[in-house]
Chain A
Amino acid sequence: MPSADLSTMALRELNATLHRLPRDTNETHWIVVNPGGKHAIACGLDLPITVEIDGHVGYYCGGMNSEATIVVRGNAGVGVGENMMSGEIRIEGDASQAAGATAHGGLLVIEGNASARCGISMKGIDIVVKGSIGPMSAFMAQAGNLVVLGNAGEALGDSIYEARIFVRGSVASLGADCIEKPMTAEDSAALQTVLSKAGVDDLSACDFKLYGSARKLYHFHVDNVDAY
């Protein structure tokens, strides 16, 4: 199993090495030790390998990820999985702000808590946070599912488009145009699928409430004409 020690290897060398791997590589499971909170670890991967990182990572870990599986045995800094396209990122500790920001696809699982702006502008990713999320999460979220097993902070889903937010615990407050919605069979099936992909087997869709867009903000409304 190939490994990289970031206390001796330059970060750029690790990322370049991972980027150079051919699609049919046999080096499919990498171990990275001593990440030391460095930024942009395992960014821009575009093949189905697994990268296990033993320690805390800095900003934008796994950014733009396609197909790869990235496991962080520690906490993640700002913007983990930012703009991810596919694949899976699993953070065993907590994630900082803007986890999964603008991400189009794939699965981001945070075993601990995520801080402010989790899933900001998400565009299709599934995010599962086993702890709680901070304020202003799912701000302007467009598509995908944000599933929270704990509680949500202030202004959840402010200016949300068509992403779904499932929260099991309390919501401190809802942002503009975000409302609680009845859960349809389709919503519940989608939630169940995401939960099982994330390995959460002991909960069902009934344990959650669904929040989404009231669709009053992003459609033109004649009552608002004075504002233009």
Chain B
Amino acid sequence: MCGIAGIFLKKPALEPELGSMLAKMLAVLSDRGPDSAGFAVYGNGHDGRIKITLRLLDETDPVDRLEKEFGGLDAVRRSNHVILSVPEQHFSCLNAAIVRLGTGVEFVGSGSRMELYKEVGLPSAVADRFDLAGMSGTHAIGHTRMATESAVTTKGAHPFSTGLDQCLVHNGSLSNHNAVRRELKREGLTFATENDSEVAAGYLTWRMGEGATLKEALAHSLSDLDGFYTFVVGTESGFAVLRDPIACKPAVMAETDDFVAFGSEYRALAELPGIAQARVFEPEPAVVYAWERH
């Protein structure tokens, strides 16, 4: 089943409320996916710096070691996740250093503004654990998982991020993900899991790397990805939704002057501010819906 949710704010007034809006949506969507949850929030960034989200798997905290090696790191801890803010020029060698750290640390995502959190457990507990309700930002996407294609592990939880500030949540299952993964590996992409949804994220990263816009990349996926899907995708400035051509998985959207919101079911949108005046609609199958911040 799985539940997905997303919010894209059109005006700054609601930015401090973004996290609490998404937290309520994910709690409702527990019914569709109680085994794990995750979310990406596009918050503040600093020019010339990149935020890396790491998940700590044991008691060894790598921040001191990385700080000694690189200096000038800014670390914010939220439960077992650490957000490291690093100067852009150190990003790639810092990534290599994180890989060298070995098994105690897992790379979750990175970007100039994106922070990404995921964990097994009830969605409301996961949201509380990272204090989602206290986060602010311009847009956010989230997922509540009922695993069907791979095990209930944190690595299998969504969103999947395969590029800077890019992330994807998926409800459904892809049938040609192995073939697409092989092709993307040949193109130089790497994958952290055997999960079908990570392949969809990687596919979009590859397309956008080739110069496509988010909207164009999703339009291409209609011919290259086979299976059932509703995708909600975030980039540094964009937010997009796509359903497969037979609209196998549910989707409802609401749009007001202040925001665009996506939910697997209307229930997830029912508590959003101003929902009574919103235009509520079901996205058409095989149509890319995309919004960009200007």
Assess whether B119 is interfacial by the CB under 8 Å rule: no
Nearest-CB distance from A54 to chain B (Å)?
A: 11
Q: Which residues of A contact B281 (CB under 8 A)?
A: 94
Q: Mark A12-46, 1 if CB is under 8 A from B, else 0.
A: 00000000000000000000000011110000000
Chain A minimum-CB-distance residue to B281: A94
Assess whether B91 is interfacial by the CB under 8 Å rule: no
Q: Is A36 a contact of B285 with CB atoms below 8 Å?
A: no
Knowing A75-B280, A94-B282, the reply to whether A115 touches B267 (Cβ < 8 A) is: no
C-alpha spacing A75/B280, complex, angstroms: 8
Q: Is B250 a contact of A97 with CB atoms below 8 Å?
A: yes
Q: Is B266 a contact of A75 with CB atoms below 8 Å?
A: yes
Assess whether B174 is interfacial by the CB under 8 Å rule: no
Q: Which residues of B contact A (CB under 8 A)?
A: 246-247, 250, 252, 265-271, 280-282, 284-285
Nearest-CB distance from B78 to chain A (Å)?
A: 30
Chain A minimum-CB-distance residue to B250: A78
Assess whether A209 is interfacial by the CB under 8 Å rule: no
C-alpha spacing A166/B156, complex, angstroms: 47
Q: Is B267 a contact of A37 with CB atoms below 8 Å?
A: yes
Nearest-CB distance from B230 to chain A (Å)?
A: 12
Shortest Cβ-Cβ A-B pairs, 4 listed:
A37-B266, A37-B267, A36-B270, A37-B270
C-alpha spacing A39/B31, complex, angstroms: 11
* CB-contact partner of A96 in B268, B269, B282, B285, under 8 A: B282
Q: Is A134 a contact of B247 with CB atoms below 8 Å?
A: yes
Assess whether A56 is interfacial by the CB under 8 Å rule: yes
A–B complex contacts, Cβ < 8 Å, 30 sampled: A36-B267, A37-B265, A37-B266, A37-B268, A37-B270, A39-B267, A56-B280, A58-B265, A58-B266, A58-B267, A59-B265, A75-B266, A75-B280, A77-B250, A77-B252, A77-B265, A77-B266, A93-B280, A94-B280, A96-B250, A96-B252, A96-B282, A97-B247, A115-B247, A116-B246, A134-B247, A134-B284, A134-B285, A135-B246, A135-B285
